[in-house]
Structure 1
Amino acid sequence: MADITVTTSPERSANPLLVWAIAVAIPLMLLVPALWNGYPLLQSDTGGYLARWYEGYLVPSRSTVFGLYLHYGENSYFWLNLAIQALATMWILQLTLRVFGLARPWRLFGLCLVLSLATALPWLASMLLTDIFAGLSVLSLFILVLHGDKVSRNEKIALFFFTAFAAATHSATMAVLLGLCIVAWIARPFLRKRIKASSLLQGTLTIAAGAVMLVSANYALSGQVAWTPGGFSIAFARMLQDGIVTRYLNDHCATHQFKLCPYRNQLPETADDFLWSRESVFNDLGRFAGMSDEMGYIAAHALTEYPLWQAKEALMDTGEQLLDVATGENTDHPSLMHTYGIFREFVRSNLKPVDAARQQVGHLTFGPFNLVHVPVALISSALVFALLIIAIWRRRADDVTLLMATVCLTLLGNAVICGVISGPHDRYGSRLVWITTLAVMIAAMKRTPREDETPRENGTRDPSRTA
């Protein structure tokens, strides 16, 4: 029997009214949580970013670039920020479908509908937080590096600056993107036909541009040519949660006069309680300004003194982070007190809609949503890893396989970076895991014959369609 190959018929022009209807419906769909809330969703970290414009100094893990982005949306009650996030999401998803040859308005609508119902995506797009840019930047880097020849010059420029901006909004996002570029450079000798040096260089330069953007914003707001602080301090808090700090203090307080020595038997059990609780020894000792040097010293020396313990905890934290994917961490009313305080001090023009929002009057709960989001995320993650293993076993290096590899590396890199440094949190998993569901859906569409494809007999088979 002759082999079958698949050819794609020319693109049929879509109904303009349908295109416009979908172009309006998708952003509204992505912003349903904010529209229901009556105001953009807030998170416990939102205030820390927003305050960067007003306070004029650097705070650990609070990007000044994202702070400026929020500041310019104040007069619109931050709906401008949400509009940018929703439109950027639709744009990146549309480009992703296009580079896979799946560009159809109804496909884009269906994809967004599934992601909106089954994943955290609309909650991320509706929130004043960096998290929406984490997953989108992975997709934009993927398109720029591996499919740059399928988008226009203007789109490549837009992708470049979007990826650079996303990298500058959060150090973990920048680290994940940098890790993907490093792996791509390592893999390039084996995948020269798939990874062009020029495209990979462009992708790598987005990280450099993001770094320049961040340092420039830090200087503009604080007068310091400096990176956003907090690396060792955040790692210290994770070691405290794992019990390593208490052990180090017990071993060394007899010979060292650490500020924490008198409190070593009263330290909080979790990193969040130590760093962010109102009643904490950390506050009593001057917070980051008073404790950064000591925390950095202890964190660095604890790494060398307890290497096996550190390795064990790092492995366990990485595994736990892969499983922590629930939506909505730290968006409940009690956890938002710091953010409310920032609004009351600096953004009083927004107080009336903030106070009237459902989130502030206790109507927001994520339990029912996570009955769907968590199993979908975990099943999608398992399927992505399984599809990659099968592709490697069959020595297949098509576009779908490269997408699976990118997504798997992203999940692993994110789990290591966030789990080991900050400790496992649902927020760190939730902001990225939705791309696994997207990848599974693309794989299903690519492996299934489509209505716009017609089989014809031939003596060869399209490698990308080979089972």
Structure 2
Amino acid sequence: PITGLGWYAGQLVADIFPVIGVLAMTVFLFTPEWRLSLIGLLLLVVFACWVHLSDLLILPLVFVSVVVAQRLIGRAIPIRRGMGVGLSLLLAWAALPVANKAVSGEAHISRYSHVFMMSRLVETGMLKTWLDEHCDTDPARLCYYKDDLPRTNKAFMWGGESPLALEGGGRKVKEEYDRIIRATWTEPKYIGMHILGSLRSTAELLGLWRIADELEGQFYRMDYSAPYGSINSFVPEAMPAYLGSAQNTGAGTLGLRYLDRAYQLVLAISLLTMVILLIRSASRKASAIALMVGGSTMLWGAWVCASLSTVDSRFMGRTAWMLPVMVALLIWKGQQERPTRNNNSVIPERG
């Protein structure tokens, strides 16, 4: 039967690029000798930023973290290497509107950023609070829905009965949404709510060690999910089989929660090994930088996604594998640097 697996796989294709971009930056910064092929790494950084817009924030934040960490341990990054990465990140921001204009005829970085930000306000409850306080003096179309707002960002963005859909979609509500979003950043009360909500959501996401949610969850059964909507519109005769599939929990489950346990075990071992490496490693400074790359990728990835979108296990999983990779590389490097025993001892000849 038709399932939501294709949609899920399509999301994962974009999700690998934050780490690809970070690895490209890292190799460029720390490769000792110059090679012309290194320019390809900078182009890969730009491409990674364009594949998923969160990377426009994640990659610069990781870059700054690595530069600061290098300074703190007394190892400055070569100026030309740092400038190369910095210019590639600036190019990603500056050239994206040009690329979008060439494709769609409209210059923009994100055409629907206001929708994502508003869905974030919905999920945290901030929008309901703001509307309760301002609708009497500052009426908005959203005031008609303030007592019936969706509870999740997915329901707000994709639900057929959400205020967004009922008002005609993202383009028609842009002016009002932008005005409300700006207003929440001008009042101290709401600035505090933004900050606390960001910290709370980031901490929640950092502890969300699961990778099987979309393989066994209920989301694809919801009428506002993309697979449900597409199947219902184009092949409605396949809906019974779709809803009855194990992936959509219509016939039990796929029994894939063991993947979560394996994932949790790998992350726990990686964190423990990271601490041991920082305490016992002879090359502690090199270990610290490698672990800074892995750790900051996880941290900034969680902060950006949790603060600007939603708390979703997928957002943690897409960067979490960076830490085990760095730990494994450090262990391998340590094994390679161990002095080998000299087994070619000279046995004195008998006279």
Which bracket does the TM-score occupy, shorter chain normalised? 0.7 to 0.9
| 1:231–1:455 distance in 2 versus 1, CA, 3 Å | farther
Partner of 1:401: 288
1:375 positional shift: 3.5
RMSD (CA atoms):
3.5
Contact 1:238 1:271 in 2 (8 A): yes
What CA distance in whole angstroms lies between the structure 2 residues aligned with 1:292 and 1:414? Answer: 26
- Classify the secondary structure of the residue corresponding to 2:340: strand
Q: How does 1:46-61 map to 2 (within 5 A)?
A: 46=10
The answer to whether the aligner puts 1:252 opposite 2:216 as a matched pair is no
Give the 3 Å change call, closer, same or farther, for CA 223–391 of structure 1 in structure 2.
farther
Q: Separation in 2 of the partners of 1:294 and 1:40?
A: 34
- CA separation in 2, counterparts of 1:403 and 1:270? 37
CA contact (8 A) 1:317 1:424 kept: yes
The aligned runs of 1:31-430 (5 Å cut-off) are 42-43=6-7, 46=10, 127=12, 129-146=13-30, 148-149=31-32, 152-154=35-37, 156-187=38-69, 189-190=71-72, 193-303=75-185, 304=187, 305-330=189-214, 334=221, 335-337=225-227, 340=230, 362=245, 364=247, 365=254, 366-381=256-271, 383-384=273-274, 386=275, 390=279, 396-398=284-286, 400-430=287-317
1:42 partner letter? G
SS in 2 for 1:397: helix
Rounded Cα–Cα distance in structure 1 between residues aligned with 2:280 and 2:192: 35
Q: CA 1:234–1:383 in structure 2 vs 1: closer, same or farther (change >3 Å)? A: farther
**Higher alpha-carbon deviation: 330-339 or 305-314:** 330-339
- In structure 2, the residue corresponding to 1:268 is in which secondary structure? coil
Cα distance change, pair 387–307 in 1 and its aligned pair in 2 (3 A) = farther
Counterpart CA distance in 1 for 2:292 and 2:280 is 10
**Aligned counterparts of 2:194 and 2:69: Cα–Cα separation in 1:** 29
State the SS of the aligned residue for 2:284: coil
Q: Which amino acid aligns with 2:6?
A: L
Aligned to 2:349: none
Q: Retained in 2: the 8 A contact 1:238–1:422?
A: yes
Could you tell me whether the CA contact under 8 Å between 1:43 and 1:339 is conserved in 2?
A: no
Deviation at 1:415, TM superposition (A): 1.6
Q: Answer yes or no: is the 8 Å Cα contact 2:119–2:309 preserved in 1.
A: yes
* 202-211 or 240-249, which deviates more: 202-211
Q: CA deviation at 1:455?
A: 5.1
1:44 and 1:192 map into 2 onto residues whose CA distance is 44
Shift of 1:417: 0.9
Give the Cα–Cα distance (whole angstroms) in 2 for the partners of residues 382 and 269 of structure 1: 37
Distance 1:41 1:157 in 2: 36
Q: Is the 8 A contact 1:391 1:397 kept in 2?
A: no
The alignment partner of 1:171 has SS state of coil
After the TM superposition, which of the residue ranges 316-325 and 358-367 deviates more from structure 2?
A: 358-367
Instruction: Give the residue type in structure 2 aligned to 1:43.
Output: W
Q: Give the corresponding residue for 2:340.
A: 454
Larger radius of gyration: 2
Q: Describe the shift of the 1:250–1:261 C-alpha distance in structure 2 as closer, same or farther (beyond 3 A).
A: same
> After the TM superposition, which segments of 4 or more aligned residues of structure 1 sit over 6 Å from their partners?
37-40, 358-361
The aligned counterpart of 1:63 is none
Task: Check 1:297–1:388 CA distance in 2 against 1; reply closer, same or farther (3 A cut).
Answer: farther
- 8 A contact 1:165–1:213 mirrored in 2: no
* 1:249 Cα deviation from its structure 2 partner: 0.4
CA–CA distance in 1 between the matches of 2:341 and 2:92? 46
Instruction: Assess, with a 3 A threshold, how the Cα gap between structure 1 residues 205 and 232 changes in structure 2: closer, same or farther.
Output: same
Cα deviations by residue, 1:1-21 (Å, 9 ceiling, x for unpaired): xxxxxxxxxxxxxxxxxxxxx
- Deviation, structure 1 residue 164: 1.4
Q: Are the counterparts in 1 of residues 206 and 316 from structure 2 also a CA contact under 8 Å?
A: yes
Letter in 2 for 1:439: M
Give 5+ residue unaligned stretches, structure 1. 1-36, 47-123, 345-350, 457-467
Give the TM-score taking structure 2 as reference length: 0.79
Q: Which amino acid aligns with 2:263?
A: H
For 2:2 and 2:285, the matched residues in 1 are separated by 46
Structure 1 residue matching 2:77: 3-state secondary structure: coil
What is the TM-score with the length of structure 1 in the denominator?
A: 0.61
Q: Which residue of 1 aligns with 2:348?
A: none
The one-letter amino acid paired with 2:138 is H
CA shift in 2, pair 1:373/1:139, >3 Å:
same
- Is 2:211–2:263's contact at 8 Å kept on the other side of the alignment? yes
Equivalent residue, structure 2, for 1:433? 320
Size of the aligned set, in residue pairs, is 323
CA displacement, residues 373-410 of structure 1 (integer Å, 9 cap, x when unaligned): 233235434644x3586489x99322x32110111111
How far, CA to CA, are the matches of 1:378 and 1:276 in structure 2? 35
Query: Does the 8 A contact of 1:45 with 1:339 survive in 2?
Result: no
* Residues 242-278 of structure 1, C-alpha deviations (whole Å, 9 max, x = no match): 1111011000111111111121110011111111123
